[in-house]
Amino acid sequence: MIVRGRLARRLAGPALFALVVGSYYAATALEERRMAATSLQPAAAAAPHRVDPVRLFTDLTALAAPSLDGRRTGSAGSHLAQDFIVGRFREAKLKPIEPWPEYAQKFSFTHRSIIGTVVPGRQATTDYPDAHNLGAVVRGTALPDVYLLVSAHYDHLGIRDGKIYPGADDNASGVAAMLETARYVAAHPLRHSVMFVAFDGEEEGLQGSKYFVAHPPIDLKQIRLAINLDMVSRSDTSSIVASGTAFDPSLKDLVTKAAAGRSLTVAFGHDRPIYVAGGVEDWTQQSDQGPLHDAGVTTLYYGVEDHPDYHQPTDTVDKIPRAFYTEVVELVIQTVLEADSLP
């Protein structure tokens, strides 16, 4: 009996490991199948077209230009990006978010690098005393004290080892999409107020959105829905992911209505924990929707799957398919319109 007991204990560890690994891969396969089965398929272009593709790509190209040196927080390139975004807010006659002077919420933070604490010669902490969130608002015609929030981070990685990381998809694409949406809403005010925020410091740990949540210009309970845009322009399969419906299933119906007639695929997912989704990543905390979600705000995140140029110097404008990106921005605008129809 003693020998058998020892043998059983020796076998229990490998058996448990095999069970965990098997469950992980089974969950991954099931989640991938679920996402494929629930995806909204492209339709013949029948929905309204509101986006000016030339203007959209002009903004995208300006934000990803080499002269901005990758838009690292606090850099000269970041200040050029700020001037560009604020200039676009002014051109569309959007009002600054009160009480932010000149459209800007200034803040500072210290980034602590895990790698820097264990690798000799690497910097463990970096101070960022000159960070800025940028924001504008279009007041609602019927529910001015209830808000929709559209956000995108404008910072990127800057220059590393002498190479510029332009961040065309990540996330000049999201900012240009936000600006195009802001133009439309400014020209066609909605029932709800709509707030547009360009976050800084996302690449250093969602710092801008964390500061926004800690120092909100309005009561966060006044935000009916927050829509975050991060990497929305590149997909080999012409597919955009709508993440957040696992927390609020009603958002799936909203996105379905918004996607009607659009010539792109919309997948639902990347919003379930590892014990349910296995290796299909949970993106809830991977961009600026994370701090808002943690604060109790209903969030919807649009983004594409990672591609080979993610966080590489090769994330450039010429890699972005014009037709797909334009359709995504059309989807974003229609999502805002569908959200505005909510009580």
Please state, as a whole number, how many other Cβ atoms lie within 10 Å of the Cβ of residue 24.
Answer: 15
The boundaries of the domain holding residue 162 are 39-340
pLDDT value at residue 343? 81
CATH of the domain at 212: 3.40.630.10
Evaluate whether 181 touches 150 at the Cβ level (below 8 Å).
yes
Tokens 């080999």 sit on residue: 236
Q: pLDDT per position in the chain (343 positions), as tens?
A: 445 565 555 655 676 677 667 788 889 999 999 999 999 999 987 788 999 999 999 999 999 999 999 999 999 999 999 999 999 999 999 999 999 999 999 999 999 877 656 666 667 789 999 999 999 999 999 999 999 999 999 999 999 999 999 999 999 999 999 999 999 999 999 999 999 999 999 999 999 999 999 999 999 999 999 999 999 999 999 999 999 999 999 999 999 999 999 999 999 999 999 999 999 999 999 999 999 999 999 999 999 999 999 999 999 999 999 999 999 999 999 999 999 999 8
Contact 226, 209 (CB under 8 A): no
pLDDT for 115: 67
Tokens of 277: 């989704």
309 found inside a domain: yes
CA Rg value for the chain: 22
Task: Give the pLDDT score at 1.
Answer: 43
Question: Does 134 reside within a domain?
Answer: yes
Taking residue 110's Cβ as centre, other Cβ atoms within 10 Å add up to 11
Domain total in the chain: 1
Neighbour tally for 216: CB within 10 Å? 17
19 assigned to some structural domain: no
Q: Is residue 287 part of a domain?
A: yes
Mapped onto helix, strand or coil, the DSSP state of residue 79 is helix
165 in Cβ contact with 159 (< 8 Å): yes
DSSP H helix total and E strand total for the chain: 10, 11
pLDDT at 118: 63
| 31 domain-assigned | no
Preceding amide of 99 cis, omega within 30? yes
- Closest by CA position to 139, among listed 183, 185, 92: 185
Whether 22 maps to a domain, the answer reads no
Task: Determine the pLDDT at residue 247.
Answer: 98
In a domain, 32, yes or no: no
Per the structure block, which two tokens stand in for 181? 């949406």
Instruction: Report whether the peptide linkage leading into residue 313 is cis, meaning its omega lies within 30 degrees of zero.
Output: no
Contact present, 168 and 315 (Cβ < 8 Å): yes
Question: Is residue 2 one of the residues assigned to a domain?
Answer: no
Backbone angles phi, psi at 40, to 5 degrees: -85, 125
